[in-house]
Amino acid sequence: MSATPDDACGCFPSGRHWPGIAHLIGSNIQGVAQEFDAQAPWADLPVALLDVETTGRDSGVDRIVELGIVIARGGAIIDRRGWLVNPERPIPAEATAVHRITDADVAEAPTFAKVFPEVLAMLSGAIPAAYNADFDRGFLLAETLRAGVVIGPSLAPALRREVDWLDPLVWARELQASEKSRTLGEVARRLGVELANAHRATDDAEAALRVLMAFGKDDRVPRTYGAFVIEQKRLSRAQADARARWRR
């Protein structure tokens, strides 16, 4: 939902007031990919949701074994692609127990460096997103650097350090705060989103994207791209602070 001259009160058409946001919608907002209009409804823009399956949880040493990207625009899925990736190292049994991908499955698969041009083509011209985005983003950047690619402003928004990724998990923690579990499977189930093949990259990516689109219909979620990024930053900081207090 775009801000209009009638929005001088700082309210969006949903009627919800977003403190500290309305006056920024027309400005250069940190975290927004600059090729997109911050005042445009984010759901009308191309959003590429990425999911990775890996050999472990540490992007510094672990590797991607499967990558999926699903793209939506205007509330509809418009593209979907997945790759098995040879991690050039054995897949630990505990990782296989989660995603069911074995060494034999990836023995003849290309390395990340080989599939990178195809991945880049899918991510170009789209707003990046992921469920628990720090995890997937960390692996994507680490593998890109290992492939000898220089991270810079000429790459897709997903590969620019200054661009924030949309993250349905942040919104699940806010909109489903009373629920004990915010795993993708549980959140999808509560929203009526099908996830028949959990922990496989393309299936998880599509389910997470459908979760994001479902959240976008909630009046508590900003409609414009810029407002969404600003509010997600605020929520993420508040949630991190709450987790830190809980651990003390």
Tell me the pLDDT tens digit for each residue of 174-233: 999 999 999 999 999 999 999 999 999 999 999 999 999 999 999 999 999 999 999 999
182 token code pair: 């915010």
pLDDT tens per residue across span 118-157: 999 999 999 999 999 999 999 999 999 999 999 989 999 9
Dihedral of the alpha carbons of 27, 137, 186, 171, in degrees to the nearest 10: -10
Domains in the chain, CATH or no CATH each? 40-247 (3.30.420.10)
Instruction: Provide DSSP, 116-147.
Output: HHHHHHHHTTSEEE-TTHHHHHHHHHHHHHHT
Q: 3-41 pLDDT, tens per residue?
A: 333 333 333 334 354 544 544 545 579 999 999 999 999
Q: What is the pTM of this model?
A: 0.88
Strand order in the sheet with 127-129: 76-84, 64-73, 47-54, 127-129
Amino acid at 171: W
C-alpha to C-alpha distance for 72 and 208, rounded to whole angstroms:
11
- Six-digit token string for 50: 């990425």
d(CA 84, CA 65): 6
